[in-house]
Chain A
Amino acid sequence: MIDTFQERYENRHEYAKQWKDKTGGKVLGYFCTYVPEEICIAAGVLPVRILGSHEPQDVTEPHIFAMYCPFCRDCLAQGLEGKYDYLDGISIAQSCLHIRQAYTSWELHVPTDWSYYLPMPHHVQSPRAVPYLLAEYEKFKKALEDWTGNKITDDDLKRGIETVNKDRQLMKQVYELRKREDPPLSGLESMYMVVSSQLIDKGEHARIVEDSLKELEDRTLGRPVGQRLIILGSENDDHEFIKMVESCGSTFVIDDHCTGTRYFWDQVSLNGEDPLTAIAKRYVNRVPCPTKDWPVRTRVPHIVSLAKDWDASGAVILQQKFCDPHELDIPAIKSALEEEGLATLFLELDVTVPIGQFKTRVEAFLEILDEEDLF
Chain B
Amino acid sequence: MISAGIDVGAKNVKVLIQEDGKVLGKGSVLAGLDMGADIKEAFDAAFKDAGIARDKVEKLYATGAGRNEVKDADDSYTEVGADAAGVAYLYPEARTVIDVGAEEGRAIRVDERGKVVDFAINERCAAGAGAFTEAMARALEMPLEELGKISLTSTKAVPMNAQCAVFGESEVVSLIHQKTEKRDIARAVHDAMATRITSMARRVGVQPEVALIGGVAKNVGFVESLERDLELEVMIPDDPEFVSALGAALLAAGIAK
Q: Are any A and B Cβ atoms less than 8 Å apart in their complex?
A: yes
| Chain A residue contacts of B195, Cβ below 8 A | 56-58
Is B181 on the interface with A (CB-CB < 8 A)?
no
| Chain A residue contacts of B178, Cβ below 8 A | 356
Given A55-B159, A351-B161, A357-B200 contact (CB < 8 Å): no
Q: Are A61 and B159 in contact (CB under 8 A)?
A: no
| Chain B residue contacts of A57, Cβ below 8 A | 195
Q: Are A58 and B202 in contact (CB under 8 A)?
A: yes
Of the candidates B170, B192, B202, the one whose C-beta lies within 8 Å of that of A56 is: B192
> What are the interface flags for A61-98 relative to B under an 8 Å C-beta threshold, 1 for contact and 0 otherwise?
11000100000000000000000000000000000000
Is B23 on the interface with A (CB-CB < 8 A)?
no
Q: Assign chain B's interface to a size class.
A: 20 to 34
| Chain B residue contacts of A352, Cβ below 8 A | 159-161
Q: What CA separation (Å) do A61 and B196 show in the bound complex?
A: 9
Please provide the chain B residues from 152 to 177 with a CB less than 8 Å away from any CB of chain A in the complex.
159-161, 163, 167, 170-171, 173-175, 177
Q: Are A354 and B159 in contact (CB under 8 A)?
A: no
Which of A56, A57, A61, A354 neighbours the largest number of chain B CB atoms within 10 Å of its CB?
A56
Q: What CA separation (Å) do A355 and B203 show in the bound complex?
A: 30
Query: In chain B, what residue has the closest Cβ to A357?
Result: B170
Q: Are A356 and B173 in contact (CB under 8 A)?
A: yes
Q: What CA separation (Å) do A136 and B160 show in the bound complex?
A: 44
| Chain A residue contacts of B174, Cβ below 8 A | 354-357
Given A55-B159, A56-B192, A354-B203 contact (CB < 8 Å): no
| Chain B residue contacts of A59, Cβ below 8 A | 199, 202
Is A324 on the interface with B (CB-CB < 8 A)?
no
Please provide the chain B residues from 182 to 203 with a CB less than 8 Å away from any CB of chain A in the complex.
191-192, 195-196, 198-200, 202-203
Q: What CA separation (Å) do A58 and B191 show in the bound complex?
A: 11
Q: What CA separation (Å) do A279 and B171 show in the bound complex?
A: 47
Of the candidates A56, A60, A62, A356, the one whose C-beta lies within 8 Å of that of B177 is: A356
Is A332 on the interface with B (CB-CB < 8 A)?
no
Query: In chain B, what residue has the closest Cβ to A353?
Result: B161
Is A293 on the interface with B (CB-CB < 8 A)?
no
Main SS of the interface on chain B?
A: helix
Is B74 on the interface with A (CB-CB < 8 A)?
no
Q: Are A354 and B202 in contact (CB under 8 A)?
A: no
| Chain B residue contacts of A61, Cβ below 8 A | 199-200, 202-203
Is A350 on the interface with B (CB-CB < 8 A)?
yes
| Chain B residue contacts of A60, Cβ below 8 A | 199
| Chain A residue contacts of B49, Cβ below 8 A | none
Query: In chain B, what residue has the closest Cβ to A350?
Result: B161
Quote the shortest CB–CB distance from B212 to chain A (angstroms): 16
| Chain B residue contacts of A357, Cβ below 8 A | 167, 170-171, 174
> What are the interface flags for A316-357 relative to B under an 8 Å C-beta threshold, 1 for contact and 0 otherwise?
000000000000000000000000000000000011111111
| Chain B residue contacts of A350, Cβ below 8 A | 161, 163
Given A58-B199, A61-B199, A354-B192 contact (CB < 8 Å): no
What are some 22 contacts across the A-B interface (CB < 8 A)?
A55-B159, A56-B191, A56-B192, A57-B195, A58-B198, A59-B202, A60-B199, A61-B199, A62-B202, A350-B161, A352-B159, A352-B160, A352-B161, A354-B167, A354-B170, A354-B174, A355-B174, A356-B174, A356-B177, A356-B178, A357-B167, A357-B171
A interface residue numbers (CB < 8 A to B): 55-62, 66, 350-357
